[in-house]
């Protein structure tokens, strides 16, 4: 029997996909008996309750008038070294390359001087490569830190190719996709909850994100305005972020404010997904599309853009439809195709569940566990 591991996990503790995956992966490993140490500046969003074998170490920034910008990178590297030494970590798994991969390299170098070897696995989630990492001010550091990682993984084939093409790294990139916990995300009709948001016969369209420009939520709102002229419906937008005010203004301009519901950040999104008829994901950059997968696992057809890793999750014409980025006419047409045809709607619901099952947690977790043990060899 292989030994239980002590694993350090570094991630962004927010509602974004990388933080969610990092947290749920760590929790799942802890349930198998492995000791998981989350190292970050705030308790991860989905680490809300006590769990055996899960530890959280907060990174605090040093306050000093000289610093215009608090040296979080240095504080994080020091914390990793401290935890690795005093908890005898077997390996470090960092999610999102910037700045975590280079910080991991610094920590590993310090530990090597103290006769402690700490293998590093870097998991790429998307914008750390496709947007931020390509900036000239980050490029050489990202390229170097990926080459210095013991293993590099990406959440989709699309992201793997983007990484290899953009950074010309010598290190291979393995694909281990994001996953879904079907014990949490599964079809469960909520007729009473549905009545709160929609009247009899009204459809419910839904989107969940961090409300950033890359998500192109304006396309969803414009699409909804057209759909609602044909099929009475409501639009529920879950999440928050820098674009919210602009989006609320757009709803007022289109005179649909009374039909569009901004719910803000929510914890139990699986409950809300179960009242949706169609889920939107219209990003112009998306390396996987975790929110779409969560919707599909609840039996909700998806209308999405066709870029990045999304088509690997949402199969066009099977679990929903994919459209060109920014093509509101196509978004509207595909959405109406689903809502107008009850037979197609039911087929897509069934197919969405079938497709989502390919990413079931119990199918993906062994792949990460195998990687962890390989990193120790």
Confidence of residue 62 (pLDDT cuts 50, 70, 90): confident
Contact present, 70 and 85 (Cβ < 8 Å): no
Nearest to 213 by CA among 326, 56, 336, 53: 326
Residues 204 and 278 in one domain: yes
Domain assignment of residue 103, yes or no:
yes
Whether residues 170 and 198 fall in one domain: no
SS3 assignment, position 92: strand
46 and 31 in a single domain? The answer is yes
The H-or-E segment that residue 245 falls in is: helix 244-253
Statement: residue 300 has pLDDT above 70: yes
One-character DSSP codes across 130-171: HTSTTSTTTHHHHHHHHHHSSEEEESSHHHHHHHHHHH--SS
Residues 282 and 147 in one domain: no
Q: Which residues of 173-195 are buried (b: 16+ CB within 10 A; e: fewer)?
A: bebbbbbbbbeebbeeeeeeebe
**3-state secondary structure at position 345:** helix
Structural domain for 354, as ranges: 191-359
Collapsing DSSP states into helix, strand and coil, what is residue 322? strand
**At 367, which CATH number?**
3.40.50.2000
Q: What is the mean pLDDT of residues 129-134?
A: 60
Q: At what angle do helices 17-31 and 290-297 cross, to 10 degrees?
A: 60
Query: What is the C-alpha to C-alpha distance for residues 91 and 5, in angstroms, rounded to an integer?
Result: 8
Asked if 214 and 282 count as a contact pair (C-beta separation under 8 A), the reply is no
Residues 282 and 305: their CA atoms lie apart, in Å, by: 5
Full 3-state SS string of 189-230:
CCHHHHHHHCCCCCEEEEEEECCCHHHCHHHHHHHHHHHHHH
Q: Which residue has the higher pLDDT, 101 or 138?
A: 101
Model pLDDT for residues 24-42, shown as the tens digit of each residue:
999 999 999 999 999 999 9
Residues 17 and 161 in one domain: yes
Q: How confident is the model at residue 133 (pLDDT cuts 50, 70, 90)?
A: very low
Q: How far apart are CA 248 and CA 280, in angstroms?
A: 17
Contact 206, 238 (CB under 8 A): yes
Q: Is residue 255 part of a domain?
A: yes
Is residue 1 one of the residues assigned to a domain? no
Q: State the pLDDT confidence band at 337, using cuts at 50, 70 and 90.
A: very high
What pLDDT is stored for residue 241 in this prediction? 94
- Tell me which residue of 351, 309, 349, 304 sits closest to 331, measured CA to CA: 304
Contact 246, 274 (CB under 8 A): no
78 and 196 together in one domain: no
Instruction: Kindly report the length of the chain.
Output: 377
pTM above 0.75, yes or no: yes
Residue of higher predicted confidence among 257 and 125:
257
Query: Does any domain span residue 186?
Result: no
Decide: residue 235, CB within 10 A, 0-12 exposed, 13-18 middle, 19+ buried. Answer: buried
Alpha carbon distance 232, 224 (integer Å): 10
Q: Do 51 and 106 belong together in one domain?
A: yes
Identify the three-state secondary structure at position 20.
helix
Assigned domain for 184 exists: no
123 and 105 in a common domain: yes
- Whether 355 and 367 share a structural domain: no
Asked if the model's pLDDT at residue 138 lies above 90, the reply is no
Please write the tens of the pLDDT for every residue from 229-278: 999 999 999 999 999 999 999 999 999 999 999 999 998 899 999 999 99
pLDDT band at 45 (very low <50, low <70, confident <90, very high): confident
Split at pLDDT 50, 70, 90, the class of 72 is confident
Average of pLDDT values for 49-55? 93
Asked, for residue 135, whether it belongs to a domain, the answer is yes
Based on the domain organization, do 365 and 347 belong to the same domain? no
Domain total of the chain: 2
313 vs 12, residue with greater confidence:
313
């Amino acid at each position: 029997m292989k030994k239980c591991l002590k694993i350090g996990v570094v991630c962004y503790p927010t509602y974004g996909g990388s933080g969610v995956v990092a947290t749920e992966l760590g929790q799942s490993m802890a349930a198998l008996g492995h000791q998981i140490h989350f190292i970050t500046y705030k308790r991860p969003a989905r680490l809300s309750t006590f769990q055996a074998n899960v530890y959280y170490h907060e990174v605090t920034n040093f306050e000093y008038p000289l610093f215009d910008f608090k040296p979080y990178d240095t504080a994080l590297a020091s914390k990793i070294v401290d935890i690795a030494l005093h908890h005898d970590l077997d390996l470090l798994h960092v999610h999102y390359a910037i700045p975590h991969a280079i910080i991991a390299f610094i920590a590993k170098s310090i530990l090597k001087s103290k006769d402690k070897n700490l293998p590093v696995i870097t998991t790429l989630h998307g914008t750390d490569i496709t947007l931020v990492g390509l900036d000239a001010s980050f490029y050489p550091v990202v390229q170097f830190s990926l080459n210095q990682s013991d293993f590099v993984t990406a959440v989709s084939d699309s992201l793997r190719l983007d990484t290899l093409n953009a950074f010309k790294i010598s290190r291979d990139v393995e694909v281990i996709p994001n996953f879904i916990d079907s014990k949490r995300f599964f079809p469960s009709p909520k007729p009473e909850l549905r009545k709160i948001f929609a009247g009899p016969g009204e459809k419910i369209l839904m989107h969940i994100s961090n409300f950033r420009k890359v998500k192109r939520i304006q396309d969803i709102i414009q699409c909804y305005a057209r759909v609602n002229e044909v099929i009475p419906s409501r639009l529920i937008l879950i999440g928050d972020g820098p674009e919210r005010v602009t989006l609320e203004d757009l709803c007022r301009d289109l005179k649909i404010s009374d039909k569009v519901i901004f719910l803000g950040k929510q914890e139990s999104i699986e409950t809300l997904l179960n009242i949706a008829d169609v889920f939107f994901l219209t990003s112009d950059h998306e390396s996987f599309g975790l929110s779409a997968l969560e919707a599909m696992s609840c039996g909700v057809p998806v209308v999405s853009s066709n870029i990045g890793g999304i088509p690997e999750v949402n199969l066009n014409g099977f679990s929903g439809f994919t459209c060109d980025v920014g093509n509101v006419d196509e978004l509207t047409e595909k959405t109406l195709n689903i809502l107008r045809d009850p037979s197609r709607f039911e087929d897509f619901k069934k197919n969405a569940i079938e497709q989502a099952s390919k990413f079931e947690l119990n199918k993906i977790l062994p792949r990460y566990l195998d990687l962890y043990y390989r990193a120790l060899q």
